[in-house]
Chain A
């Protein structure tokens, strides 16, 4: 079972993000970086597939700045075997990210290419599908269940209010959703071993930008709450406001 896991380095979901001086990027000062949370499901799934198959390899593929090795090490500490880091100091749009990833993946011949369903910073949910398109393999997103027998995979997808079960043959690209598995912690021994696992660095290759970030804006400050009255007397007015103004009932 040859698995590639595409993994993105994103600002820690708990850090407070500030827009940088140029108005189009975030201010990197004091920002901690983590594996994009959905990608952790992909790493875990990759390791489990390899364990279940009893043979194979799990390779982490990242497009990002040279500093991305910190999050790659975590994935190696969890149990991935090696990694390829396609470096770029540019912030790439989804299309160019997909091109850069496909550039690394094209000749590898992976049985499974795993992604998070979306990255928590860009939130485009495009990269997995675009990479699969470039590689000419099927893509299934929002996956919460994966069973593989031989070359045949049974895939459970989450859709609004229910599940869809699909069947398809390897090679496949999968976008992992919460619920697929419970990612393990890297053990200390795993982290020590990760130090010795190879991270191959190549330069990211992709086409010219087709879209451009014009500006970033933080969410507007939440307006102050309003007290419409006290006790039961306030209920009719509250209901009216919820229905007519907030439009949530």
Chain B
């Protein structure tokens, strides 16, 4: 396969700093050399490319936008560009990094004690520790406030009971950030692998995000020390603030998937001959490419502006909802159409498009489904919450 050529129709590169372009270039090169050659096989085998975890740490990609504790302390646009490049490789790879940085390191960094930060953050930053984030339950997905998992105080311990489902990295995690109700209030707990009463099962049979481990977490009278409670947050705003971080990354990541599909389809249609001409010379194919170019350009602008607002401190969760909702939607639409443009080749692992298409079915569902973000925006417009 020819190397990836990115899309920058509106010269957005002119709005990036030299350093941001260099960071993007580094991650692009890393993905091209270390992910692309093996990712289709990992997807087929249903395995995460664990061998790259130390490299992710060494490069500084884990928790890259956090300050201190061995983290790179990057600006949010650089962070977004990293997510874009990782997801250009595979949504499962980006999910790994999103979960580690946005959903595990971030809550410890933001809500944890100094001791918790010292103990976990440097090891999560190097990839020595893998983390997972347990919010969703079998019976509570879009509505996490109904969660059943609970914690009870007992001497200098908490006793956790309940089950979490669809948890990225669950089985491979050394440390889990688990959300559970303590006296009816959602609180965050750090649970280490091997704690008696804590077990995991691998969720089999996914056709999406196959190069990412998804698991159930089970807590049965699982005793954890009191020092493992995240002290500085109470209620759903704890997990939701983490999701805002991760959704921000997804808004950028989806652009990466969309570009990967577009780049593949434009090359393919330029060289595939039917009726004695490249299929790119037919108007229907051109219309598809023109539409995709427009949507990618708009999504890039949305992501970049969101990043500027995040840097300026003016970004709200509603802004993130718009970006996650829009960018994942267009990426999935583009992936489906590109899949078709590749004909029969589009249903094989010879080309990355089918894999991106399947992956994006998870991306549009997790971190707030498309429709949940619709409702968040609906509430923002009308002042009326449709889901309460």
> A interface vs B, CB < 8 Å?
14, 69-70, 73-74, 77, 185-189, 191-192, 194-195
Contact = CB atoms under 8 A, between A and B. Distances in A.
B29 A192 contact: no
A70 B72 contact: no
A77 B18 CA distance: 12
Nearest to B17: A195
A192 B74 contact: yes
A77 B22 contact: yes
The binding surface of chain B is classed by DSSP as helix
Contacts of A70: 18, 21-22
Contact of A191 (B3, B5, B22): B22
Interface string B1-38: 01101000000000000110111011001100000000
A165 B276 CA distance: 56
B22 A185 contact: no
Across the A-B interface, the 8 shortest Cβ-Cβ residue pairs: A188-B60, A188-B72, A187-B60, A14-B3, A189-B60, A189-B72, A187-B59, A70-B18
A130 B341 CA distance: 53
B299 to A, nearest CB: 21
B64 interface: yes
Contacts of A73: 18-19, 22
A188 B74 contact: yes
Given A14-B3, A14-B5, A188 B59 contact: yes
Interface string B36-70: 00000000000000000000001111001000000
A189 B70 CA distance: 9
A187 B2 CA distance: 26
B30 A188 contact: no
18 contacts: A14-B5, A69-B18, A70-B18, A70-B22, A74-B22, A185-B26, A185-B29, A186-B26, A187-B59, A188-B23, A188-B26, A188-B59, A188-B61, A188-B74, A188-B78, A189-B72, A192-B73, A192-B74
Nearest to A195: B19
Contacts of B74: 188, 192
A66 to B, nearest CB: 12
Interface string B330-350: 000000000000000000000
Contacts of A186: 22, 26
B44 to A, nearest CB: 27
A191 B61 CA distance: 12
Nearest to A186: B26
B345 to A, nearest CB: 21
Contacts of A189: 60, 72
Interface string B102-126: 0000000000000000000000000
Given A191-B23, A195-B19, A185 B59 contact: yes
Contact of B26 (A69, A191, A195): A191
B42 to A, nearest CB: 21
A197 B183 CA distance: 53
A190 to B, nearest CB: 8
A34 to B, nearest CB: 8
Interface string B285-321: 0000000000000000000000000000000000000
B75 to A, nearest CB: 10
Nearest to A190: B60
Contacts of B58: 187
A39 to B, nearest CB: 15
A6 B30 CA distance: 24
Contacts of B61: 188
A89 to B, nearest CB: 19
Contacts of A185: 26, 29-30, 59
Contacts of B19: 73, 191-192, 194-195
Contacts of B30: 185
A192 B19 CA distance: 8
A14 B5 CA distance: 8
Nearest to B33: A185
B182 to A, nearest CB: 37
A43 B296 CA distance: 36
Nearest to B57: A187
A171 B297 CA distance: 52
Nearest to A77: B22
Contacts of B59: 185, 187-188
